[in-house]
Amino acid sequence: MSETPTPEPLKPNTEEEIAELRRRLEASDAIIRNRNQEIAALQSQLSDLQENSASAGEDFPDAADLLNQLLGKRKKSKADLADVKAILELIEGIS
């Protein structure tokens, strides 16, 4: 059976080492605070985008209206109401 090595006793840090460690800790804390602010800003932007995309589907006209507009511009179009509904469903699925 092998014995577990005992760790070396901690040697006391000098004032300079302690000061350096404190500076590094403060710098790390500042980086963390900045990252947390960036995360909060990105979460806010994401929330805004999600709200906008949820309401974007409400801006589309009715499928029948779209078909009438299409037929008004392209008299020979072979699209029917089912085609327009399918297209709207595809668009809503993307957003």
**pLDDT digits 0-9 by tens, 22-78:** 999 999 999 999 999 999 999 999 988 888 766 655 667 788 888 888 888 888 888
pTM score of the predicted model: 0.44
Report residue 35 as tokens. Answer: 């990252």
pLDDT value of residue 42: 93
Contact call for residues 84 and 66 (beta carbons, < 8 A): yes
Structural domain boundaries, residue 42 = 14-58
State the DSSP H helix or E strand holding residue 57, giving kind and residue range, or none if neither: none
Residues 46 and 64 in one domain: no
Confirm whether 2 is domain-assigned. no
- Residue 89 forms part of a structural domain: yes
Looking at the structure, do residues 42 and 70 belong to the same domain, yes or no?
Answer: no
CB 55 within 8 A of CB 20: no
> pLDDT category, 3, cuts 50, 70, 90?
low
Is pLDDT above 90 for 7?
no
